[in-house]
Amino acid sequence: MTTQQLIEQIKIKKSFLCVGLDVDLNKIPQSFLTLEDPIFEFNKAIIDATHDLAVAYKPNTAFFEAYGIKGWMSLQKTINYINENYPNIFTIADAKRGDIGNTSSMYAKAFFEDLNFDSITVAPYMGKDSVEPFLAFENKHTIMLALTSNEGAFDFQTLDVDGTELYKRVLETSKTWKNSANLMYVVGATKAEYFTEIRKIVPDSFLLVPGVGAQGGSLSEVCKYGMNANVGLLINSSRGIIYASKEADFAEKARAEALKIQQEMAAILESK
């Protein structure tokens, strides 16, 4: 999917919601556990219930890998289901990969070609040659960690390097890489004021924003400081939506939660 197509979908759906698919078998309706592939069936139900309210889905690879080969089959079925039934959805493999060049190429092949995701999250620590192999794929997007939403973000990401914070240096440096137009960034919602500074460095890039809702971030604050002319934001919610209920009404309740966020987003888009 091209960035332009993503922007169009945001306008059509009046939504920039991304639903995170982090399936923990302990937290889903226990009736699913008797099915052959509970993870896929749960994802399918969530996707069917929310696809018109969300522009993106983000399966978190850890939650699939934890179940070994069965988990990878669930991941493959989930991405195939989205691509076949909802081709206008932007898909994100939340994998946080990154390694030396030839290894990153293998990861890119795995997620962009074999699984056919539109995008993947990557970690910046190993620098340019660990990220550029991902950037080489046309109409695929590489979402690099900049400032994450967890407590540990302040261990290294906000350290002062030559008068600027490390995450800003990461943003600045990444702009010089080959095919950097294919970059997006992960920026946590926990401190909305950071978005002002970030937008000075990457005014046009899409930002994937975790941490709204359950983790304490405010949607309106993030939009106030982070939105650009093309919206430029994908707001992720995982647990708040997919675990809205553990009962038979889980899909209905997930839809209700997604609708609440989508309506808030529609109002924000209208007011701009």
By CB under 8 A, name the binding residues for its own copies.
Answer: 22, 24, 60, 62-63, 65-69, 71-73, 76, 94, 96-104, 106-107, 109-110, 114-115, 123-131, 145, 148-157, 159-162, 166, 169-170, 173
Q: Which is nearer to its own copies, 114 or 249 (CB)?
A: 114
With beta carbons less than 8 A apart as the criterion, state whether 15 and 53 touch: yes
Q: In whole angstroms, how close is the CB of 97 to its own copies at the nearest point? A: 7
Q: How far apart are CA 10 and CA 4, in angstroms?
A: 10
Q: Which is nearer to its own copies, 103 or 230 (CB)?
A: 103
Work out the angle between the directed axes of helices 219-226 and 194-201 (0-180°, nearest 10): 30
Q: In whole angstroms, how close is the CB of 96 to its own copies at the nearest point? A: 5
With beta carbons less than 8 A apart as the criterion, state whether 20 and 58 touch: yes
Among 96, 128, 224, 260, which one carries the catalytic annotation? Answer: 96
Q: Is 96 tagged catalytic?
A: yes
Q: Which is nearer to its own copies, 151 or 270 (CB)?
A: 151
With beta carbons less than 8 A apart as the criterion, state whether 58 and 92 touch: yes
Q: How far apart are CA 7 and CA 231, in angstroms?
A: 8
Q: In whole angstroms, how close is the CB of 205 to its own copies at the nearest point? A: 18
- What's the token pair of residue 21? 């698919």
Q: In whole angstroms, how close is the CB of 34 to its own copies at the nearest point? A: 21
With beta carbons less than 8 A apart as the criterion, state whether 51 and 78 touch: no
Rounded to 5°, angle at Cα 2 from 179 and 49: 135
Q: How far apart are CA 227 and CA 197, in angstroms?
A: 12
DSSP string, 159-203: -EETTEEHHHHHHHHHTTSTTGGGEEEEE-SS-TTHHHHHHHH-S
- What's the token pair of residue 58? 């983000």
Q: In whole angstroms, how close is the CB of 263 to its own copies at the nearest point? A: 27
Q: How far apart are CA 269 and CA 227, in angstroms?
A: 10
Q: Which is nearer to its own copies, 53 or 57 (CB)?
A: 57
Q: Which is nearer to its own copies, 26 or 34 (CB)?
A: 26
List active site positions. 96
